[in-house]
Amino acid sequence: MSLLRDDHERRICEIRHIRVRSDKNLLRKLNQTKYLWLLFLPCLLYYVVFKYAPMFGIVISFKDYNLFKGIQESAWVGWKYYRMFFENPDFMKLMRNTLLLGVYNLAFGFPAPIVLAVLLNEVKHSFFKRFVQTVSYLPHFISNVVVASMVVMFLSPTGGILHELLKWFGAANANVMMEPEWFRTVYVASEIWQHAGWETIIYLAALTTIDPVLYEAADMDGAGRFRKLWHVTLPGIRPTIIILLILNIGKVLEIGFEKVFLLYNPATYETADIIGTYVYRVGLVQGNYSYATAIDLFMGIISLIFVIAANTISRRVGNTSIW
């Protein structure tokens, strides 16, 4: 009996000993890299304060948060605000708008840079190619406010240049920005105008990595331009396409709050009001912090599921994934 106990104690001693040694090791390492830590400190503080502290702030969605009481003192209310959101008559509308806008944006906005990159890749004249590239990257650096202003002014029924053009085609006589059925088209078109050119950069880089021998071989086999495109070019940039697709699917629900906020107005809420803008109005404008946070978290979690699902699928099917 006592022998057994001795054995036990000895073991504990050993474990303690090892722990002390590894602690020392850790301390030594820490000491060795103390200046690196010093360099990293501001960055760490940034992430803790501006990224992780808000994540803990999510707790207010389970409380009746009151600015004066603070997070600690506010009373717990459980799932109240989540239930409130699900029972909200606007719930379906908001979900539909967010999802549809994201899906349309993906469906039209995702292929656009691929097409443009392939077209650019076919250009033999290098000066012309560089010129088109330089020009098409430009809108990416223009602010959302300016782009939205341009859209609104160009579509204005009083002298907007696009409005005249649409009228010429017999498409619109009314104020496009005031009509819910136009909102998604306008939004997606402006997104493509703004970002498609810039997004070609990655594809163009991927296109240069395709081995020219493959094209020569395809020529030998008598493949035409489109067969070469289908059998050499597109497979060559497939991994790039898949990775970007995953990233974009993950972002389907994170449609830019800013752009929608700048383009929409009460007349187009029917199709334009998305979760992000609703959260802004309910939370920051009306001051219903807990409710807005609950909505935001709900959306954030669905968004996270989207990313994970997209990544899992692509790992299974295409052997490509971002982690």
* Interacting residues with another protein between 15 and 34 (CB under 8 A): 26, 29-30, 32-34
Choose one: 4-12, 73-81, 85-93, 151-159; the region binding another protein (CB under 8 A).
151-159
Q: Does 149 bind another protein (CB under 8 A)?
A: yes
Among 78, 89, 159, 170, binds another protein (CB under 8 A): 159
User: E strand or H helix at 56, and its extent?
Assistant: helix 53-57
Q: Does residue 198 touch another protein according to CB under 8 A?
A: yes
Q: What is the dihedral of CA 76, 79, 82, 84, to 10 degrees?
A: -80
Q: Check: CB of residue 277 under 8 Å from CB of residue 261.
A: yes
Residues 58, 277, 297, CA angle at the centre, nearest 5°? Answer: 20
CB 142 within 8 A of CB 222: no
Asked if 79 is part of the footprint of another protein (rule: CB under 8 A), the reply reads no
Site for another protein contains 307 (CB under 8 A) = yes
Within the chain, what is the greatest distance between any pair of CA atoms? 101
Q: By CB under 8 A, tell whether 165 contacts another protein.
A: no
| 148 is a contact residue toward another protein (CB under 8 A) | yes
Size of the site for another protein (CB under 8 A): 85
Q: Which residues of 289-315 are buried (b: 16+ CB within 10 A; e: fewer)?
A: bbbbbbbbbbbbeebeebbeebbeebe
Structure tokens belonging to residue 299: 């959306």
Q: Is 197 in the site for another protein (CB under 8 A)?
A: yes
Tell which positions 238-257 bind another protein, by CB under 8 A.
Answer: 250, 257
| Residue list 84-113, contact with another protein (CB under 8 A) | none
Q: Distance between CA 323 and CA 311 in Å, rounded?
A: 8
Instruction: Give the binding range for another protein (CB under 8 A) out of 122-130, 167-175, 210-218, 228-236.
Output: 122-130
When asked if residue 116 is in the footprint of another protein (CB under 8 A), the reply is: yes
Given 77, 99, 153, 207, the residue binding another protein (CB under 8 A): 153
